[in-house]
Amino acid sequence: MADASPMVIMEGVGKVYGNKIQTRVLWDINFRVERGEFAAIVGPSGSGKSTLLNLIGALDKPSEGEVRISGESLGTLDDEGLARLRRQYIGFIFQFHYLLPDFTALENVLMPFYVAHSAPTKREVEEAKELMERVGLKDRINNRATDLSGGQQQRVAIARALAGRKPLILADEPTGNLDTQTGSEIFRTMRDFNEQDGTTFLLVTHDPRFAEQTDRVISVVDGRIAEDRAVLHPSQ
Amino acid sequence: MPFELKVALRYFRSGGMQTVLTILGVSVGISVSIFIASLIGGVQAGLIERIIGSLPHITLEPRESVPKPLGDILTPQKSQIYLSRTEKSGLVEEKISDWKSLVGMLDREPGITAVSPSVAGPGFVIAGTSVQPITFHGIEPLRANRITDLNKSMREGTYDVSGTNCVIGVSLAKELGIRLKDKLRTRSGRGRETIFTVTGIFDVGIEEINLRSFYISLTNAQHLLNLVGYINGIELKTAEIFKANDIADHLGAMTNLKVKSWMRQQKEFLSAIQAQTGSNLLIRFFMMLAVAFGIASVLVVSVVQKSREIGILKSMGARTRSVTLIFVIQGLLTGLIGSLVGSIIGSALCWALAQIPGDNLTKPGSLFPMKLEAIYIVQSVVSAMLVGVFASLAPARRAAKLDPVEVIRYG
Ligand SMILES: Nc1ncnc2c1ncn2[C@@H]1O[C@H](COP(=O)(O)OP(=O)(O)OP(=O)(O)O)[C@@H](O)[C@H]1O
Ligand SMILES: [Mg+2]
């Protein structure tokens, strides 16, 4: 039943920051994301893309409207409930890699398991190693996170976001800090996971080249959805 | 390994110099605390040994007999004049009868380590023209030794009160110009006379005892003081000296004797000891407070340093409890390791200072009479761990409340 419901539903979602001086950042956002979609969120700086992504990721609470992840309404959950929901469904990839510097690459990928239930099982360690292999870092698993290049760190971050077979990956400008070549590789890696495993990706990007390689582009302008269109691929 | 412990340990290790310095700070605090406790404990033990060591902890005496009315001469209804006769005080001898079973009972009483029945009473030594007032102490030497070990205080001869032997103090010997083996004529307050042979001369360092106390066998004292079959005192030692009051009260309720505890007899000394204990605790309390502030301030810094990582962990769905625990464990570890290192430093310090020789007047001792007890170390380690946890609570709560959106946006 839960699996049949859409991955993300946004219904009349708005966001206002501040108490005394209120700044409205998002207005009446409505859309849904089906399972297995690979969608880009684009828009000018300050338009509210990160805010939107944080609301979907249950890191932030909407001022009005309803966010539903895999059928679960976030409004009904307390902080512990939201944390549980993140453990269960959501993997994050941030612009500045954000690996845990005191741990090795493999430990970083295992971290979601630790967070969920302490020591990971043998199968989970196998899964983490396999993910490291799929992002092309099989021989770097015992490197300290800080000893990896930016691109390598971002690959580890992708593996970490996917660990535990998270159905929804939210990536906020994952290539924003990388050179074009490395950025393309990272993009390709995510696309592969989407195509092979059916993982849903929501990807904030400034790069129109990447946006055009997704299935769908949601444009946010001044806190509203200005455009929501499917991308047609010539090969299809 | 639990997730929180794993992360805490890793942060602890990656803290490097910061971790080492915090642990050192805690160690210094703990070692001083152990050192102070040992020093005050040692000084106190020395004082107690000197003041209380040769005294009974509890004494049992017969109740002072209240003179009994012997009957009215005139009945008050018939006359305005009221006459009555009362027993003269001092006529009735104050004594403990059936004392052998009482001693047997006290021997079995828990918390009591020594029981010594005694007969004491006034008398005189008559030597030529001089008459010296003395106090006869009739004792059973084996039992009496466990209250006051006269053997340790013997200056000359041996501690032997068998037959008509007696043991006297140096001051009395000097006063009367007496040497070992001399014979002494004595008379009791009851007018009975006996001649004793001096077999030993002691010096307990207290003039009153050196001059007045005259030790003889229990049987001789009973004869001299007209108390055959009776005694008039029992002296006790307790295993724990500060339980003397409790045991005394218990014995007071069990017997109809007057029970005195050293704690009530030596009130000033007791309050001096208690003041020392109090200042010891106060110093250690403030030491712990300093340790707490040290741990807390380092953890506050650590929370700021790690806020980005805390945000990441939260975005992964880490529970509030887990984030709190990560920092509480760090506080606990700092307390634990710091106090273990501090215990080693403190113990070494105690040992080193105990090696410095000092003149303890009579016996050779060290300048610092350190008394290091395992309980100080256990107390220090446990309290440092508690303090570590306590100190970590505020920083941990701060970490738990961090908003991941903030740290990720501005991280
Ligand atoms: N905590 C906050 N308090 C007040 N205003 C905020 C807060 N967070 C974000 N904003 C404002 O909300 C607006 C949208 O911010 P957001 O980070 O979502 O934009 P963005 O589209 O991700 O921009 P960029 O492309 O630069 O990352 C901005 O004007 C920002 O200043
Ligand atoms: Mg943004």
Instruction: Give the three-state DSSP class for B32.
Output: helix
Q: Are residues B63 and B122 in the same domain?
A: yes
**Domain membership flag for residue A19:** no
CATH number at residue B155: 2.40.40.20
Task: Give the residue numbers spanning the domain of B367.
Answer: 3-51+270-410
Question: CA A153 to CA A157: how far, in whole Å?
Answer: 6
**Using CA positions, which residue lies closest to atom 24 of ligand 1?**
A45
How many structural domains are present in chain A? 1
Q: Are residues B162 and B198 in the same domain?
A: yes
Average pLDDT, chain A: 91
Q: Are residues B33 and B76 in the same domain?
A: no
Q: Average pLDDT for residues A58-77, to the nearest whole number?
A: 93
How distant, in Å, are the alpha carbons of A12, A70, A85, B159 from that of A80? 24, 17, 9, 80
- What's the start-to-end Cα distance of chain A, in Å? 31
Atom of ligand 1 nearest to the CA of A173: 27
Q: Is the CB of A219 under 6 A from ligand 1?
A: no
Q: Are residues B312 and B395 in the same domain?
A: yes
The ligand with the least distance to the CA atom of A25 is 1
Q: What backbone phi and psi angles, to 5 degrees, belong to B205?
A: 85, 5
Query: Which pairing describes strands B69-72 and B84-86: parallel, antiparallel, or unpaired?
Result: antiparallel
Among the partner-chain residues A79, A86, A102, the one whose CB lies closest to the CB of B316 is A86
Q: Say if CB B126 and CB B172 are below 8 A apart.
A: no
Task: Give the residue numbers spanning the domain of A151.
Answer: 36-61+78-230
Question: CA A145 to CA A96: how far, in whole Å?
Answer: 13
CATH number at residue A91: 3.40.50.300
* A220, pLDDT greater than 60: yes
How many structural domains are present in chain B? 2
Taking CB atoms and an 8 Å limit, are A86 and B411 in contact across chains?
A: no
Among the partner-chain residues B318, B320, B408, the one whose CB lies closest to the CB of A115 is B318
* A52, pLDDT greater than 80: yes
Q: Are residues B255 and B397 in the same domain?
A: no
Q: Are residues B335 and B234 in the same domain?
A: no
Q: Where are the alpha helices (DSSP H) in chain A?
A: 49-56, 79-89, 105-117, 122-134, 150-162, 180-197, 208-211
Q: How far is the CA of A41 from the centre of ligand 2 (A)?
A: 10
How distant, in Å, are the alpha carbons of A151, A159, B308 from that of A96? 10, 15, 11
Q: Average pLDDT for residues A14-23, to the nearest whole number?
A: 90
**Domain membership flag for residue A4:** no
CB distance from A37 to chain B under 8 Å?
no
Most ligand 1 atoms within 8 A of CB, residue of A21, A29, A50 to mutate: A50
**Domain membership flag for residue A149:** yes
Question: CA B196 to CA B214: how far, in whole Å?
Answer: 10
Longest dimension (CA), chain B: 110
Provide, rounded to the nearest whole percent, the portion of chain A with pLDDT above 90.
72
- What's the start-to-end Cα distance of chain B, in Å? 29
**Domain membership flag for residue A73:** no
- Could you state, in chain order, the average pLDDT of each consecutive group of 10 residues for chain B (411 residues)? 89 89 93 90 83 85 72 56 59 77 91 93 88 93 87 89 93 91 90 92 89 94 92 91 90 89 87 89 90 91 90 93 94 94 93 78 65 87 93 93 83 53
**Domain membership flag for residue A167:** yes
Q: Average pLDDT for residues A202-222, to the nearest whole number?
A: 93
- Residues of chain A with Cβ-Cβ distance to B408 below 8 Å are 59, 94, 98
Q: Are residues B68 and B47 in the same domain?
A: no
The pLDDT assigned to B91 comes to 47
A184: tokens are 């393309």
Q: Which of B227, B245, B265 is the last residue of a domain?
A: B265
Q: Which of B207, B238, B265 is the last residue of a domain?
A: B265
Q: Which of B197, B231, B265 is the last residue of a domain?
A: B265
Taking CB atoms and an 8 Å limit, are B317 and A83 in contact across chains?
A: yes
Q: Are residues B342 and B406 in the same domain?
A: yes
List CB contacts of B406: < 8 A, sequence separation 6 or more: B311
CB atoms within 10 A of CB B150: 21
The pLDDT assigned to A1 comes to 45
Q: Where are the alpha helices (DSSP H) in B130-225?
A: 141-144, 150-153, 170-176, 207-212, 218-224
A121-145: pLDDT as tens digits:
999 999 999 999 988 898 998 999 9
B322-346: pLDDT as tens digits:
999 999 999 999 999 999 999 999 9
Average pLDDT, chain B: 87
Q: Is the CB of A45 under 6 A from ligand 1?
A: yes
Q: Are residues B140 and B214 in the same domain?
A: yes
Query: Which pairing describes strands A168-172 and A90-93: parallel, antiparallel, or unpaired?
Result: parallel
CA distance B396 to chain A (A): 17
The ligand with the least distance to the CA atom of B405 is 1
Question: CA B82 to CA B74: how far, in whole Å?
Answer: 6
Q: Say if CB A13 and CB A26 are below 8 A apart.
A: yes
Q: Are residues B44 and B188 in the same domain?
A: no
**Domain membership flag for residue A11:** no
Please tell me the least confidently modeled range out of A3-12, A105-114, A121-130, A198-207: A3-12
Among the partner-chain residues A54, A86, A88, the one whose CB lies closest to the CB of B405 is A54
What would the DSSP string read from start to end of A163-224?
A: TTT-SEEEEESTTTTS-HHHHHHHHHHHHHHHHHH--EEEEE-S-HHHHTTSSEEEEEETTE
CB distance from A83 to chain B under 8 Å?
yes
Q: Is the CB of A194 under 6 A from ligand 1?
A: no
**Domain membership flag for residue A111:** yes
Question: CA B5 to CA B1: how far, in whole Å?
Answer: 7
Q: Is the CB of A46 under 6 A from ligand 1?
A: yes
Q: For residue A62, what is the enclosing H or E element? A: none
Q: What backbone phi and psi angles, to 5 degrees, belong to A24?
A: -85, 125
Q: Say if CB A89 and CB A166 are below 8 A apart.
A: yes
Q: What angle do CA B358, B360, B361 make, to 5 degrees?
A: 125
